[in-house]
Structure 1
Amino acid sequence: MIGKQVPGICAVLVWTILVIPAKCHTPFFIFGDSLLDAGNNLYLNGTAKITASLPYGETFFKENPTGRVCDGRIIPDFIAEYANLPLIKPYLEPGFSNYTDGVNFASAGAGILPETSPGTIYLKLQLSYFEKVTEKLKQQEGESKAAELLTNAVYLFSMGGNDYMHVAMKSTMPSLGNTNTTSQPLTSTFKKQYAITVLSNLTSVIKQVYATGGRKFLFQTVGPLGCMPSNRIGSGSKGCAHDVSVLAKMHNTALSKVLLRLQKTLPGFKHGLFDYYSALSERTNYASRFGFEEGQTACCGSGNYNGQFTCGKNGTNAYNLCSDPTKYVWFDAAHPTESANKQLSDLLWAGPLRVVGPYNAKALFDTAS
């Protein structure tokens, strides 16, 4: 029996009796902060580059740290693997210009708002890089093929945590380029208005990606910021810092509503929202249930809970380093281990509706736009 290909967004083989859909190539574009940064900050002037040194990367990348703020792989690495893609490269990597598999724009320390962490790649700057990529794809692949790739691509967003850290904590994360402090009173009115501003800026970028052809979006909620090792040291107990926890929860509740509105108003808009906050909180609070030995103290760092950002720093500031990161939920003061990222990635990829929905990552990668 002889078949032929029929042009279209996804080619199909047409036989005399049945039609067999051919799997589309699905690029993966990543917008985010240190949780998703695959090395962009290594190429920025003026940002700390501790992640270029061991022990960062040692679990998977061995003697060649890649700038990931982790002992090994991060969530986009696992999702790319599950989607049969190579590791998605950082946009700023020298010589990188083949964008057909996707691009990682994430930047450690970056916020949705430009003023959150000057010197990093804030969200609208990430968008501007994405726009350059779309033009390059059109030049390389032609208008039609580029449109096909952009429409079939999956777009992952994970940002906002640094914005709320910026206003809620007396000291933020200088090791990741964020040295700003604030004296703004955190009234309930301010918290609400600030969250609205953050989400408005995020929504604007989502709509612009949609306007370029994007239809399949993945989002992570902001994580349990108040319960990170870095913030436990200021809580006065084994509890979590209050204000930043409230802001994170406000953001996450509002984000789910924003996405449902976009689903109603943007034709063809499909999304999955991963409850990263709850998934990481559960592992932090009940580590042994998930195969970990330690959920609150970081593997690498110094001070209470190893919550100071000294991991990887040479010189006079010594730091503690655990012998086996796989037993820990947190690798450093604010970032999970590869083992925790693997569990979180599995939930994002194929978790049930109560964890990620209305689509999980697998469904979006498998679904034609």
Structure 2
Amino acid sequence: MCTKKKREMRLGLINLMICVFLVTSNLGLTVALTNNSSQIKNICEFPAIFNFGDSNSDTGGLTAVYGQALPPNGQTFFGKPVGRFCDGRLVIDFVAESLGLPYLSAYLDSIGSNFSHGANFATAGSTIRPQNTTITQSGYSPISLDIQYAEYYKFYKESQVVRNQGGVFEELLPKEGYFTRALYTFDIGQNDITAGYKLNLTTEQVKASIPDIINQFAKVVRGVYAQGGRSFWIHNTGPLGCLPYMLDHFLLTAAQVDEFGCASPLNEVSQYYNSQLEDIVTQLRRDLPLASITFVDIYSIKLKLITQAKRHGFEKPLVACCGIGGKYNFNNTMRCGSTEIVNGKEILVAKSCDNPSKRIIWDGIHYTEAANKWIVDQIMKDSSYTNPSIPLEMACQKLN
């Protein structure tokens, strides 16, 4: 009898535990579903992207003015040169893809362009501060960030006047409401740092120029905000000391080269610039109360890729895929796509490596499509690279 009672009590206890488990499991499921539903509601539906930058995000601005990029640029994805200094897609292209938007047309390219979902004001060689040289003297674009903003302002003011004429203009230009709801992306600053070094400034002199560079950057962000821009996605600059064109330019001592072959002084300046940029972003959040500003640590992502290349399926991280000669397969006078006349025939001499998908650096300055995709994949799957920690599709949410 005693044994029977114990058995019944044990069964009752087991049944109670099962009930508790089922209730808590269902409760957890309900909470999870509720959280997911809330998250889905908070996903931003960006109707357009307006991009400002340099060659890291130029989709045809510079080539619209100075002539198309040479083959083999574009070979991997587009099958031909399409205004990008890369074998295929850039980071901005993958960002557009992830948001379900078409690739951005360059503002300066009037032939066959469609601006219904945004425009790209970036040009290769652009700096934040205006340069007091011509492009033939220094290689830097005259279309600095202030000029890019002037282009944007003109586009913002005049696009609706033209669009209201109806017909094809309605299909090629953004709706008026898109400007406030758009994502504004910035990837610029690399050339401001390298310009100082090319003028033979010391590292301390380059650092001294950075506060003014940052202030001019902030001025443009404020300008876009004044025109109704609310969602900003800002990239810092990458590890310049790991790029072949910079490594080839400097005579470095052994003490200045780190264990991965990168130039430590150049990377330190990049980090200093990035810290100043992050500080101004913090200030902009205070000053622009309706803005959602996301700071993206591109530096850490690119450094991780370069220093852990083999682990991630890449090889020769400091050697250009497309180029000719030297330790880094880079020659500043014969860049990717350069040709020579041999026996009366034009021969491509600065050509692509056999497998760009295994390489990080495309032409000594820019990254390959494979590297660009890897970079965006890290941003998408690891929110620790963004401040605030927020996925791209929720970058309109003000969490700061």
Which of 211, 216, 221 is equivalent to 1:201? 216
2:21 counterpart residue number: none
Q: Aligned equivalents of 2:337 and 2:118: distance in 1?
A: 30
Structure 2 gaps of 5+ residues are: 1-40, 136-140, 165-173, 342-347
Q: Aligned residue pairs: how many?
A: 327
2:76 counterpart residue number: 59
CA contact (8 A) 1:110 1:117 kept: no
Question: What SS does structure 2 have at the residue aligned with 1:115?
Answer: coil
Q: Does 1:137 align with 2:159?
A: yes
CA contact (8 A) 2:313 2:358 kept: yes
Q: Does 1:291 align with 2:291?
A: no
Superposed displacement of residue 116, structure 1: 6.8
Which of 336, 350, 356 is equivalent to 2:386? 356
Q: Does 1:307 align with 2:322?
A: no
Which of 145, 168, 188 is equivalent to 1:159? 188
- With over 3 angstroms needed to count, the CA separation of the structure-2 counterparts of 1:147 and 1:210, relative to structure 1, is farther
- With over 3 angstroms needed to count, the CA separation of the structure-2 counterparts of 1:57 and 1:22, relative to structure 1, is closer
Q: Aligned equivalents of 2:43 and 2:237: distance in 1?
A: 36
TM-score by length of 1: 0.82
CA contact (8 A) 1:229 1:297 kept: yes
CA contact (8 A) 2:53 2:145 kept: yes
Deviations 1:119-173 (A, max 9, x none): 422101110110111012331456xx955211100011011100100112xxxxx
Question: What SS does structure 1 have at the residue aligned with 2:387?
Answer: strand
Amino-acid identity (%): 31
Question: What SS does structure 2 have at the residue aligned with 1:26?
Answer: coil
Question: What SS does structure 1 have at the residue aligned with 2:184?
Answer: strand
Which of 182, 201, 212 is equivalent to 2:199? 182
Counterpart mapping for 1:1-369 below 5 A: 24=45, 26-45=47-66, 49=67, 52-62=69-79, 64-95=80-111, 98-115=114-131, 118-119=134-135, 120=141, 121-140=143-162, 147-168=176-197, 181-187=198-204, 190-233=205-248, 234=250, 235=252, 239-302=261-324, 303-309=326-332, 310-315=335-340, 318-348=349-379, 350-358=380-388, 359-364=390-395
Q: Please tell me whether Structure 1 or Structure 2 has the larger radius of gyration of its CA atoms.
A: 2
Question: What SS does structure 2 have at the residue aligned with 1:284?
Answer: helix
Superposed displacement of residue 117, structure 1: 6.2
Superposed displacement of residue 244, structure 1: 2.8
Superposed displacement of residue 96, structure 1: 5.5
- With over 3 angstroms needed to count, the CA separation of the structure-2 counterparts of 1:22 and 1:156, relative to structure 1, is closer
Greater Cα shift, 69-78 or 132-141: 132-141
CA contact (8 A) 1:83 1:365 kept: no
Q: Aligned equivalents of 1:197 and 1:252: distance in 2?
A: 14
| Structure having the larger proportion of residues in helix | 2
CA contact (8 A) 1:154 1:218 kept: yes
RMSD of aligned alpha carbons = 2.5
TM-score by length of 2: 0.76
Q: Aligned equivalents of 1:201 and 1:343: distance in 2?
A: 31
CA contact (8 A) 2:105 2:114 kept: no
Q: Aligned equivalents of 1:24 and 1:210: distance in 2?
A: 19
Deviations 1:82-140 (A, max 9, x none): 11111110111124665330001111111001117644221011101101110123314
- With over 3 angstroms needed to count, the CA separation of the structure-2 counterparts of 1:102 and 1:38, relative to structure 1, is same
